[in-house]
Structure 1
Amino acid sequence: MKRWAPAGLLALLLALLACALGPAGHRWIEATSLLVDVWSVGQERAAAPSTWIIYPGPGGESRRADVYCDPGAPPGARLLLAHGLVEAGKDDARLHALGRALARHRFLVVIPDFPGMRSLRVGRGDIDELDAAIRASQAVSACGAPDGLPLGAVGFSYSSGPVLLALDRPGVARPDDFAVLFGGYDDLVDVVRFLTTGRHRDLGIDYGGEALPEGRWMVLQANAGTLADPADREALATIGRMKRSDPGADVSALAATLGPAGRALLEALTNTDPDRFDALMRRVDPAVRGTLDALSPSRSLDRPLGIDLYLLHGRSDAIVPWSESLKLARSVRTTGRVRLALLGGFRHARPQGDGGDAGWVTALRYPADSASILDILAEILGRRRESA
């Protein structure tokens, strides 16, 4: 006799319930199915996209985005998934697993590639990249998607800032659009503070935390290109790559070649003393500090956003501390609603120990997290428009 796996029995039960319930109940059933997909995101293999698009980047360059949708179920909303500082870029298997899962629930999912972020560089141009990608996503018509569908821009970690700042520009966001930020931030300088000293602050309270050891070198590599001296840029980027690959690497010879601006940035990012952080950051080249400020929502949002925001953050995040989403929830100006969920079962924009247990097992292990995510997923599913 065939034995049913727990996941199969759960799927059958959900299907029976969906038939018995009305639209609201059906949405909660869908949300439960999608919740298991979220908890399973690190375990799924990449799936080939439904199609892809080429669109003009900020300077007219060609940009490519993969698209997921279900031809048998016309989309009720569009989602843009923006990768962060990751060398895989749009080809990150986790993004594609999430795209495939969301497409099963009548979302048209667009996953663009951002060359700067894929190269582990940050800059003001990232906001322009998101601007172009959002506008292109609004026009994708694959799988019969009609014009004017709501669009949700989803940012992970670093990309959360450019997502918000692009939506802040005139003509980008529309009244029914929304943003979902996972592991986002309010102020990049405070993210650097955490990655170098292990300290973060909120409402005057100082917190400790376990920062990713290679985080300081990621920041160095990402910001090296902002300096004016080409020799400093190359040396600092090389130091960052070497230290990320081998924390014990001897970089003294490269450090000795640095000019004043390069030395100031390296000293600020190798510092571990919280009491010295502010003074060292004041010595950093104004171009670097200006870039950090320009990419920080707390310093650069020009006007109230007219959209709803969903902020989710793992309490064990070792790159962007959870206090950043708390601060963002308070500081962001929006005429829409702000939903915030701090998740004990997540680290940096992914579940704890992803790749192990089945999604439904992990969902049951963290019931409080699952309840918070389920509520937000049900609300996002409710933003879809019904097909004609």
Structure 2
Amino acid sequence: MSGAVSDRSPERVPTARKAGVVLVIVVAALTAVGCTLAPKEARLVAQDLAAGPASTEFKEITATPSRRTVTFSGEKQSYRADLYAPGPVPEAGILLMPGAAEQGKDDPRLVNTAKTLARARFLVLVPDIPGLRRLQVTPANIQHVMDAISYLASGRDFPSPPRIGAGAFSYAVGPVLLAARRPDLAGQVDFVVGVGGYYDLEEVLTFATTGYYRQQDEWQYRRPNEYGKWVFVLSNLSRLADSDDRRTLRRLANWHLAGRPGPQPEVGLSGEALDVYRFVTNDDPDRVPALIGKLPLAIREAIRELDLANRDLSSLKADLILVHGRRDDIIPFTQSVRLAEALPKGQTELFILEGLLHVNVSALSIFDQNRMAHAVDSLLRQRVTAP
């Protein structure tokens, strides 16, 4: 700070007054609709999450977290992971599961999120899951979550955090919740944060392939992102018996995911691969159940294993914080609504944002910013006071 002279300069006085007027307007608007401003720390953390690597007040007032590589062994495999540690003693630990993204744990969005949470005094573990880098979401991800949480709770390479949670994006929300409900983890997972997650996989696949989803038992339509259905194809290639069909479908899926212009690659499919292709290219929601019924048995079993709608979630004891974008074009927001409704009252907090596009923040309104800050406040309240 340069002192009183700078603060009282003619250029700054009107700016300060304008900022005060804006704040009064914001508070008045929020009060009018029954909302309250989130606590200051939550607002600073939410601002930092939205800003990514850009400078923010939160970055200025907190220590830069450390980032190092750790290795650990699970039930069936070994893992490499990034561990983000705050300057002060961590007040909670959180596993961040990557979604289906080619950059995996090194995705800039995930890295920025981990750094922000570490600045907020969380010990953050981000494992490298090669299958997710290949855009493969499989039931094996449930075991990956269990292994990572067990390691985070073990205190092997660092003091065990007093409270432990997990955060997941998109399709990774399902495996995290399915792991957290397991008896051997049910007492270790205190909270779960899910962004853009799902509940009923048949409904999600209906939306991904046709654009239709149900809201209050009525069909609604939103043009879906092609990403969802072709990730489904890539996730299930290993479940097809014929190697030629696997290669053809992989080429087709990669062509679509790359957004290449011109005609699609020649399709010469038969048997199981043809059933998969007919399913993902169907645009009639009423045909989806029958087309799913024709998918190879291994694919149908994988859908069943990752589905939440057919599970008893009563063994899930963790507090849930769910965030979803109303205009999500990969997983409709109604999935988080249904998930919240499936759990006991008071166990879940749900925040619907207009300016959140799946897991990417676009322009957030004043009300969105406040909702986001309240969601962050719910997460911050999962910490304990550091000794």
Common topology (TM > 0.5): yes
1:161 aligned residue: 174
Q: Which moved more, 1:201-210 or 1:31-40?
A: 201-210
Deviation at 1:201, TM superposition (A): 1.0
| Count of matched residue pairs | 351
Distance 2:349 2:313 in 1: 21
Distance 1:375 1:165 in 2: 26
Distance 1:77 1:190 in 2: 35
The answer to whether the 8 Å contact 2:193/2:320 transfers is: yes
The answer to whether the 8 Å contact 1:310/1:338 transfers is: yes
Distance 2:334 2:306 in 1: 18
Deviation at 1:371, TM superposition (A): 2.1
The answer to whether the 8 Å contact 1:305/1:336 transfers is: no
Distance 2:360 2:297 in 1: 34
Distance 1:347 1:69 in 2: 29
Counterpart secondary structure, 1:319: coil
The match for 1:267 among 278, 284, 299 is 278
Does residue 122 (structure 1) correspond to residue 122 (structure 2)? The answer is no
2:329 aligned residue: 318
Aligned pairs for 1:340-351 within 5 A:
340-351=350-361
Distance 2:189 2:147 in 1: 19
1:178 aligned residue: 191
Distance 2:176 2:299 in 1: 20
Counterpart secondary structure, 2:123: strand
The one-character-per-residue Cα deviations of 1:98-154 (angstroms, maximum 9, x if unpaired) are: 111111121111111111111111221111111111111223466xx6435111200
2:71 aligned residue: 54
Paired letter, 2:372: I
Aligned pairs for 1:1-388 within 5 A:
28-41=39-52, 49-59=66-76, 61-71=77-87, 73-140=88-155, 146-147=159-160, 149-174=162-187, 177-248=190-261, 250-251=263-264, 253=266, 255-256=267-268, 258-301=269-312, 303-331=314-342, 333=343, 337-352=347-362, 362=364, 366-388=365-387
Say which one has the larger Rg: 2
Deviation at 1:92, TM superposition (A): 0.6
Q: 1:42/1:219 Cα in 2 relative to 1: closer, same or farther (>3 Å)?
A: farther
Deviation at 1:175, TM superposition (A): 6.1
| Seq. identity, % | 32
Distance 2:247 2:340 in 1: 37
2:26 aligned residue: none
Quote the RMSD (CA, aligned, Å).
2.7
Deviation at 1:197, TM superposition (A): 0.8
Distance 1:236 1:48 in 2: 43
Q: 1:239/1:43 Cα in 2 relative to 1: closer, same or farther (>3 Å)?
A: farther
Paired letter, 1:63: Y
Q: Which moved more, 1:119-128 or 1:225-234?
A: 225-234
Q: Structure 2: state its 5+ residue gaps.
A: 1-5, 20-37, 56-63
1:19 aligned residue: none
The one-character-per-residue Cα deviations of 1:206-258 (angstroms, maximum 9, x if unpaired) are: 111121134322222222222233332232122111222245554563x31x3
The one-character-per-residue Cα deviations of 1:56-81 (angstroms, maximum 9, x if unpaired) are: 1441x32111111123x100000111
2:27 aligned residue: none
Deviation at 1:202, TM superposition (A): 3.4
Deviation at 1:176, TM superposition (A): 6.4
Distance 2:340 2:168 in 1: 15
Deviation at 1:348, TM superposition (A): 1.0
The one-character-per-residue Cα deviations of 1:23-44 (angstroms, maximum 9, x if unpaired) are: xxxx922111101012213758
Counterpart secondary structure, 1:85: coil
Paired letter, 2:336: S
Deviation at 1:286, TM superposition (A): 2.0
Deviation at 1:313, TM superposition (A): 0.2
Counterpart secondary structure, 1:172: helix
Q: Structure 1: state its 5+ residue gaps.
A: 11-26, 354-361
Distance 1:232 1:43 in 2: 45
Counterpart secondary structure, 1:152: strand
Distance 1:110 1:384 in 2: 16
The answer to whether the 8 Å contact 1:121/1:222 transfers is: yes
